[in-house]
Structure 1
Amino acid sequence: MRGFWGLMRAYWVSERWREAWALTAVIIGITALASKTSVWMAEASAELVNGIAFFHHPDNATPLQTVLTSAGLLMLLVLFKDLGLIGTRHLFSTTLHRKWRGWLDERFNQALLDRNHTHFHIQHATRAADGTPVPTPDNIEQRLQESIKGMTGGAIGLAMGVIGVFTSLWFVGEKLIETSGPVSGLDFLGSYGSAVLALTAVVLYVPLNTYIAVKVGRALQRLTNTMQQAEGSYRGELTTFLRRSFHVAATRGEAVQKATHDRLYSDIDRTWSRLNWFNAGYMSFELIYNFMAARIVSYAPGLVPYMNEKISLKGYITGAELVNSLISQCSWFIHVMPEIATLRTNARRVTELAEAIERVQRPDDFYRQTGRSDFRFGTQHSVFGLTVKDLELVHTGEDAQPFLSVPHLRFRRGEWTFVKGESGSGKTSLIKAFNGLWPHGGGEITLPEGATTFYATQDVRLPPVSLKQLVCLPAHEDEHSDTKVAALLHKAGLGEFIEFLLEPSRDGKIWEEVLSGGQKQKLVLARILLHQPGLLFLDEATSALDVEAKAVFHQALKDACPAITVISIMHEAEPPKSASGEDFYDSVLRIADGVATKRPLRAGLPAEITTILEKPVPATALRKRVPPRQHLRQKQE
């Protein structure tokens, strides 16, 4: 789905091809019948005009009955086509639109939310093969919703228009030939003279104006694309602002925020102004085109044979109505050129997202486009815990120098390590690297075999699901009993919410809005206690808790997970202690001057513990290597 046509046909060759083709076949059938009905309407219209023209003719014995019958038949045909056929086709086409959009949305969500963390990687810029920077796709939420919806709807409308053109050419052309008559000066064409003249008028008039419409359409496409980007940026900023509105209020930053909004909206306003000029000009062009088609081009071809009495008035009107119908159908591209421009814009934005997803399927190769990325992940016997060797972290850029170096580290099973360092020293970057979430650098990271990992961050974001599901993440809530989850909520200090365990909200508010920062961190504690990970990373995960609550948090971990390996970053200069004054942490990892070193927290640690903290891992202890970043398929926060 990385190209326009691949994107267009993907649904029709997918596992749901029967559904797609069944709906398509119905739409094609109805469109063909609607085109045939247009021929009948042209004949009925000619009968009505003919009845009016010969209303007072002496040979017309029942003039009123003739006019009323023709008018009634024309009205029935209009109702049959517009109310019956077009209405029914609209129902089927919108159903196809809904099904296709749903299938595409499902595909993109699966691709973004795979175990490769694609949604995370595509937010990093890269370079093309020739070194040209490739920016990250902007406004992904807009691409997934508005662009896919607009693209699928526009494509179905375009396809129905194309089908209508071909069916009209068949049925209307057949009728034009049937009612054709000779034309003076074109005697060599015989009785096909007026038909050839009519078709020639269509061939000359429609393509020329379509060419003009295409030129204007390309300009509209560029403006529409710019408009979507500008609106997406403005909407994204509004969404971000509402999430941090408290901070804006606390810092009295409304004036700065307003200036940001004004700047973003000015981009929308400028583009909108230019778009309005183009749309107004195009609307005028279309109105003139329609008038010329209906009143001049349609009636001109048959005028000569009618004046020479080669065809009757009825034949003349029938031919003119048929030509008008044919021009109307063949002019469908002109009428919907703005929509086609929008379709191309939407399709491009969707294919850009598909291309971005494809680029990051091999994260290491992807990150090598913008710098060094040579992380090697492996597993070893769990008794040896987590080891790190020759690790270097750098920023984007092929010549970037390491801002953090780790010659050799080992975190034994059951060991708790406190990470210290100045702000900006690379503490969080190191934790990200352990979890395969830092893009640039290199080194060897060997994880304990069979151990699941859990990464708890300072900022906790909660999806709009039930409280039980929030505790059970990333597992499904059906995998754990209500009693067990309720007990862990109580143990984490959230017992007051147990009665709302199965509810997605409380008092009309989702849990993201109900729980405070500290309560969210207690919720993460309940999640850790439930999943019992072997390797836990705490990145300021208790920052919203007071001293006593932090001690309770750590004590709950120590009691429930005795064999867990903990690596923790905190603001405090010294790690918390238990109520009895005992240390929770066994060692401290200090980051200073771009180097990470580890030592026992207490000088009185047993010698065997001090030794195992520094002793290199025997080569024979290493188990099979796993592909880079694939270890992240273990459970994580």
Structure 2
Amino acid sequence: MTGVGRPQRTVPEQTSSEAKTSPLTPVSSMRTFWGLMRAYWFSDRWKEAWTLTLVIAALTTLLSKTGVWLALMLGELTNSVNFYHDAANTAPLRTLLTNAGLVIVLFVLKDAGIAGARSLVSATLHRKWRGWLNSQFNEALLDGNHTHFHAQHGSPSTGTAAPDNIDQRIQESMKAMTGGAIGLAMGVLGVATSLYFIGENLIQSSVEVTGLEFLGGYGTAVLSLLAIATYVPINTWIAVKLGKALERLNVRLQQAEGSYRGELTTFLRRSFHVAASRGEDVQKTMHNRLYSDIDRTWARFNIVTVCYASFEAIHNFMGFRIIAYAPGLVSFIHNKLDLKGYVTGAEMLNQLIGQCSWLIRVMPDIATLRANAQRVTELANAIESVQQPQEFYQQTGRSDFSYATQNPVFGLTIQKLELAHQGEDATPFLSAANLRFRRGEWTFLKGESGCGKTSLIKAINGLWPYGRGTIVFPEGVTNFYAAQEVKLQQVSLRQLVCLPGSENDHSETQVAAALHKAGLGDFIEHLADESREGKIWDQVLSGGQKQKLVVARIILQQPGLLFLDEATGALDPEGKIAFHQAIKDNCPNVTVISVMHEAVPPRSLAGEEFYHSVVAIADGVATKKLLAPSLPRELTTILTQPPRPTEDKWLRFRRLKQK
């Protein structure tokens, strides 16, 4: 990790009301299903959202009305076929062809013209909505609070587990959710408009039913609506039961596939190490184990899906071939309804059953929608829960760090620091009563592996969750955290050097100069490139070159505080000396705190010490001492005594050194 800014919690005191109120994030309103569904329509993009929605609503209404016209024309076509040889029909062929032509025109207008236009507008709404959601979640995750980091430290005991496969949630789940929601909304509107238009026509064309004379002329209309009111709800109840099973399996399948994909991605990143250790068999076993989980879940999912498809086929046959033609049959038999009216009524009922059965048809989509929405709302809840990191970590352990600022003359101060692991009663593994790092001082952290050197640096930067203590930063001083493992993003080389800032913050000459001073001058001509010979920079540069790239960033950024967390681990002895010398020559007055594997810190080629002091960690206690043999007397005095308020002893020492 490089370029981590100073912890956001710079004020050590908060009122109780402030501590209980989490700051709003771009996804604060998306923590529930309906909150997620409506957020876009009440955002700053509401005009765009509502315009597209109203166009879709208008096209859906027109589509339902066209369905009524089509049903009427199908009745006319059936009637022209039935009376083709009737003596009163003077132009049977022309009537038949005219009705057939009108049916074709209405069908093309309905299913190709209006439906096609609605598909295009709904696809546009889908694209816009998904893009907006994607930007909101990215903004919420990638903020100055390091939310993306803290969100991955959740646990069931906090009430918000760490979200797995965040990439899958933001991309696949969000894309499927937005598409499914729009489709379902159009289905609901289609039902409403169809009920209005078709119901109105059924009532107008209704006739009396023998045996049900008390219904008067509304007989066939009542029977039609009663058939729908009985048949559709029963089948919908069955569909809901099957849909819940699909939803559960869908979530489980997403989790299993995400785990398998994540392991594949991790494997490809450590491909060399697997090859070098001949660990292919172990990796293969791991892949087989993860995929077997996918296979078992997929098998159960397929069984439920087939059952649902069979149920839907039976429902369609019964609805379209029997239920739709039953209500008008008695009136047709008793000659109270002619063939044209009977067929027209049946076709209208077909249309209405089809629209009212949308829930049954799309139940698998609803199951998928709810599964995807659950994945997204879980991520929104995880983001919101860590907006006050210290309060978040206090749910699972002791987290009582205080961050403040002071006059930069006094440098960095650490007071009564204790670091622990998760758990209320966890024993501190590292304590530091009082550590001070003066401006321009270079300090070497020394101790056995696992003693807490890296944890100390993380705690100073607000990236260690459990413990307590006070960290006081020099006011107005920027800090830079350089870790051992450097992961490069897929951007241009110039942008990589300019991180954590923008490539517009520095001129090309400045960037090129920083690269040259860091020992990467051969790459200056490729500053504008995002890749080289088909490979991104993370694949092109070796481990040592990546650490030299970090030196270029440091030279360019000119931080006042520099944390080196084994940042020279991939360099040879000469490279480590050059690493330190480049910082010494180009970053005057920088305060350096460094962790290295070496027992003693490196020296310059002239034999001079880079480091002024050492913090030794032994038996869980960090103590600081000066490297006295190599320090001039004046610097020793300055580092061991606090400066007077009226005198900058650093300036005094530099004047004496010049003399």
Distance verdict in 2 for CA 1:372–1:29, change over 3 Å: same
Distance of 1:237 and 1:618 partners within structure 2: 57
Gaps of 5+ in 2: 1-29, 648-659
Q: Aligned residue pairs: how many?
A: 618
Tell me which of 118, 123, 143 is aligned to 2:152: 123
Letter in 1 for 2:96: V
Superposition CA RMSD, Å? 1.5
* C-alpha distance after superposition, 1:56-84 (max 9, x if no partner): 22222222222211111101011001110
Is residue 2:39 matched to residue 1:10?
Answer: yes
Tell me which of 605, 612, 628 is aligned to 2:631: 605
Distance of 1:497 and 1:134 partners within structure 2: 45
Match of 2:181 in 1: 155
Match of 2:75 in 1: 46
Letter in 2 for 1:387: T
Match of 1:236 in 2: 262
Written as runs of structure 1 = structure 2, the 5 A alignment for 1:455-470 is 455-470=481-496
Report if the CA contact (8 A) 1:379-1:447 is conserved.
Answer: yes
Distance of 1:619 and 1:163 partners within structure 2: 74
Match of 1:216 in 2: 242
Distance of 1:538 and 1:276 partners within structure 2: 53
Letter in 1 for 2:575: A
Tell me which of 77, 93, 98 is aligned to 2:122: 93
Distance verdict in 2 for CA 1:435–1:252, change over 3 Å: same
Distance of 2:602 and 2:549 partners within structure 1: 20
Match of 1:299 in 2: 325
Report if the CA contact (8 A) 2:160-2:385 is conserved.
Answer: no
Secondary structure of 2:629's aligned partner: coil
Match of 1:510 in 2: 536
Secondary structure of 1:123's aligned partner: helix
Match of 1:70 in 2: 99
Secondary structure of 2:152's aligned partner: coil
Distance verdict in 2 for CA 1:573–1:298, change over 3 Å: same
Match of 1:418 in 2: 444
Report if the CA contact (8 A) 2:59-2:118 is conserved.
Answer: yes
Secondary structure of 1:445's aligned partner: strand
Report if the CA contact (8 A) 2:52-2:121 is conserved.
Answer: yes
Distance of 1:465 and 1:115 partners within structure 2: 21
Distance verdict in 2 for CA 1:467–1:609, change over 3 Å: same
Aligned-pair distance for 1:609? 3.9
Aligned-pair distance for 1:602? 2.8
Secondary structure of 2:432's aligned partner: strand
Is residue 2:636 matched to residue 1:595?
Answer: no
Aligned-pair distance for 1:125? 1.9
Match of 1:404 in 2: 430
Aligned-pair distance for 1:19? 0.3
Written as runs of structure 1 = structure 2, the 5 A alignment for 1:393-542 is 393-542=419-568
Secondary structure of 2:422's aligned partner: coil
Report if the CA contact (8 A) 1:293-1:324 is conserved.
Answer: yes
Tell me which of 222, 227, 230 is aligned to 1:196: 222
Letter in 2 for 1:120: F
Secondary structure of 1:10's aligned partner: helix
Match of 2:306 in 1: 280
Distance of 1:98 and 1:516 partners within structure 2: 39
Distance of 1:473 and 1:593 partners within structure 2: 38
Distance of 1:362 and 1:617 partners within structure 2: 36
Match of 2:570 in 1: 544
Aligned-pair distance for 1:572? 1.0
Secondary structure of 1:379's aligned partner: strand
Distance of 1:365 and 1:243 partners within structure 2: 35
Aligned-pair distance for 1:553? 1.1
Report if the CA contact (8 A) 1:220-1:338 is conserved.
Answer: yes
* C-alpha distance after superposition, 1:118-162 (max 9, x if no partner): 0000000245xxx56542111100000011111111100010000
Report if the CA contact (8 A) 2:69-2:106 is conserved.
Answer: yes
Distance verdict in 2 for CA 1:44–1:604, change over 3 Å: closer
Tell me which of 243, 246, 271 is aligned to 1:245: 271
Distance of 2:92 and 2:229 partners within structure 1: 38
Report if the CA contact (8 A) 2:319-2:353 is conserved.
Answer: yes
Letter in 2 for 1:575: P
Distance of 2:317 and 2:593 partners within structure 1: 76
Q: Which moved more, 1:606-615 or 1:390-399?
A: 606-615
Letter in 1 for 2:369: L
Secondary structure of 1:301's aligned partner: coil
Distance of 2:252 and 2:291 partners within structure 1: 13
Distance of 2:274 and 2:541 partners within structure 1: 20
Is residue 2:128 matched to residue 1:102?
Answer: no
Match of 1:633 in 2: none
Report if the CA contact (8 A) 1:180-1:191 is conserved.
Answer: yes
Written as runs of structure 1 = structure 2, the 5 A alignment for 1:606-621 is 606=632, 609-615=635-641
Distance verdict in 2 for CA 1:307–1:619, change over 3 Å: farther
Report if the CA contact (8 A) 1:224-1:341 is conserved.
Answer: yes
Written as runs of structure 1 = structure 2, the 5 A alignment for 1:339-354 is 339-354=365-380
Aligned-pair distance for 1:55? 1.6
Distance of 2:546 and 2:427 partners within structure 1: 37
Tell me which of 139, 148, 164 is aligned to 1:138: 164
Aligned-pair distance for 1:611? 5.0
Report if the CA contact (8 A) 1:392-1:404 is conserved.
Answer: yes
Letter in 2 for 1:537: F
Written as runs of structure 1 = structure 2, the 5 A alignment for 1:19-30 is 19-30=48-59
Report if the CA contact (8 A) 1:471-1:485 is conserved.
Answer: yes
Letter in 2 for 1:276: N
Report if the CA contact (8 A) 1:599-1:613 is conserved.
Answer: no
* C-alpha distance after superposition, 1:270-300 (max 9, x if no partner): 0000000000010011011101111100000
TM-score, length-scaled by structure 1: 0.95
Distance of 2:570 and 2:148 partners within structure 1: 28
Letter in 2 for 1:435: N
Secondary structure of 2:546's aligned partner: helix
Distance of 1:451 and 1:421 partners within structure 2: 28
Distance of 1:132 and 1:438 partners within structure 2: 17
Report if the CA contact (8 A) 2:628-2:636 is conserved.
Answer: no
Distance verdict in 2 for CA 1:168–1:52, change over 3 Å: same
Aligned-pair distance for 1:613? 4.1
Tell me which of 44, 49, 55 is aligned to 2:84: 55
Secondary structure of 1:231's aligned partner: helix
The share of aligned pairs that are identical, in percent, is: 66
Match of 1:629 in 2: none
Gaps of 5+ in 1: 622-637
Letter in 2 for 1:282: Y
Distance of 1:5 and 1:283 partners within structure 2: 29
* C-alpha distance after superposition, 1:578-636 (max 9, x if no partner): 11111111111111110001101133534554455455799999xxxxxxxxxxxxxxx
Secondary structure of 1:342's aligned partner: helix
Letter in 2 for 1:72: G
